[in-house]
Structure 1
Amino acid sequence: MMSDPEESVRLQGYGEMKLRTAIATVMPLAPRERAEAAIFRVRDGVRVAASEIAELASEWGIAPAPEVRSPSLAPEPHWPDIVRGMVREAPLPSLMVAFLLGVLVSRR
């Protein structure tokens, strides 16, 4: 379907804008939010189908937001390496203060 990128539409929750702007606003949203977004044509009040939005976005080079992976699938942080890097970059007086505070706290 040929849609004019300069056609006036109303994006629910955002107001009236051009079709290209509405699609550029919707595509970075998370998939669930993108599915709930509603774009209505001003000329006849008809809702633009989600399949048409996806088709126009790919035609115009507007990429959707990437799928976010579950935090449980993310690699484990290497905490010893992170702490070692922090200690290496810290100034000596702050390291001494941290050590002394640690000694005081452990004695109580």
Structure 2
Amino acid sequence: MARRKRRNHSPTFKAQVAVVALKGDKTLAELAQQFEVHPNPVTDWKSQLIERAAQVFGEGNPPAPDPDLKTLHAKIGQLTLENDFLENALTKAGLLSAKR
């Protein structure tokens, strides 16, 4: 008797199954049969969704810090300077057309 290979389910699939399980329209056995998985993972995914639902709406995640505009402007200036330098060097070497 050949064993079936272990399947790895994508996070999207797990979320879809967990959401359907949360709705409660079908029994656990019906969901397992519909999605062709064992009932245990369905239960696990449902509980994981419930536990981590607050993280989706921002609780537990610190807000992203505001970017330092002075540093970003300095980086833009540096990259512009490097691009100009390389363009001039390549044009002088004949590797880049001057028409650009």
Q: Establish whether TM, by shorter chain, passes 0.5.
A: no
Question: In proportion to residue count, which structure has more helix?
Answer: 2
Decide which structure has the larger Cα Rg and report it. 2
TM-score (norm: length of structure 2):
0.31
Structure with larger RCO (C-alpha < 8 A, sep 6+):
1
